[in-house]
Homo-oligomer: A and B are copies of this chain.
Amino acid sequence: MAAWAERLTGVRGVLLDISGVLCDSSASGATVIAGSVEAVARLKRSPLKVRFCTNESQKSLRELVGVLQQLGFDISEEEVTAPAPATCQILKERGLRPHLLIHEGVRSEFDDIDMSNPNCVVIADAGEAFSYQNMNRAFQVLMELENPVLISLGKGRYYKETSGLMLDVGGYMKALEYACGIKAEVVGKPSPEFFKSALQAIGVEAHQAIMIGDDIVGDVGGAQQCGMRALQVRTGKFRPGDEHHPEVQADGYVDNLAEAVDLLLKYTDK
């Protein structure tokens, strides 16, 4: 692999995943990944443009940012690209009235969306709300539609809580796709539109940007397919096998965000 100086040359903007990079989450709350609070602060004091890019869909943006601020992170709602607000924009643009299969924590994001007589289904990381009854209701709504539209907030396979690996929305999206014979639209990483909207927000071109995430496929592979570079951190859902993934090779592997920021500050143009 080329030297870091070469791999990081021309980087002007950084997209940061949140869960697994800034913090680990658990049923009872979130805990900082060591060194990440300081790493974010150092990054924001540098000339590099920074944006947070998350698939978090269990919490509203306000709640998510509140939790991170309490952990000590310098972050505001305006700095985050998240799937629920992006979905609401799509629903409004296309006149879609969703049946929601989501976590209660994110419901407030949909407060001003018309949900009468649904003509689509929106699913997110619903956690315990992924009961058979709720899945079956979403399935029935889709089967009753002439042109079924399924929007999924992300398509992650799993994420890591302190208690262990947890099924993410992706499997449930696949279940509904298979049962209904349809293809879902994904809002969130690794959708190119989602990465592009995050880059637009900081005015950085893809070839000048680098993604830092713990998900070899959703973060690293997705960003690379958009023309960005990407680093994988060995925190969060990282598993050793990721460094030998059959399809995706990160532009670099680092122990944690702190090491990634060390390298960025050392090797990108000042």
Taking CB as reference atom, which chain B residue is nearest A239?
A: B143
Query: Counting CB contacts under 8 A, is A129 at the interface?
Result: yes
Query: Counting CB contacts under 8 A, is A30 at the interface?
Result: no
Q: Are B176 and A171 in contact (CB under 8 A)?
A: yes
Among residues 198 to 244 in chain A, which have CB atoms less than 8 Å away from a CB atom of chain B? none
Number of A interface residues in the complex (CB < 8 A): 31
Query: Counting CB contacts under 8 A, is A52 at the interface?
Result: no
Query: Counting CB contacts under 8 A, is A107 at the interface?
Result: no
Query: Counting CB contacts under 8 A, is A136 at the interface?
Result: yes
Q: A170-B178, A178-B171 are in contact. Are A132 and B127 (CB under 8 A)?
A: yes
Q: How far is the CB of A239 from chain B (nearest CB, A)?
A: 9
Of the residues B126, B133, B179, contact of A128 by C-beta under 8 Å: B133
Query: Counting CB contacts under 8 A, is A175 at the interface?
Result: yes
A-side residues, CB < 8 A to B, are 126-133, 135-136, 139-140, 143, 157-158, 164-168, 170-172, 174-181
Q: List 13 A-B contacts (CB under 8 A).
A: A130-B135, A131-B131, A132-B167, A139-B167, A139-B171, A140-B164, A143-B158, A143-B165, A167-B175, A168-B179, A171-B176, A171-B178, A174-B174
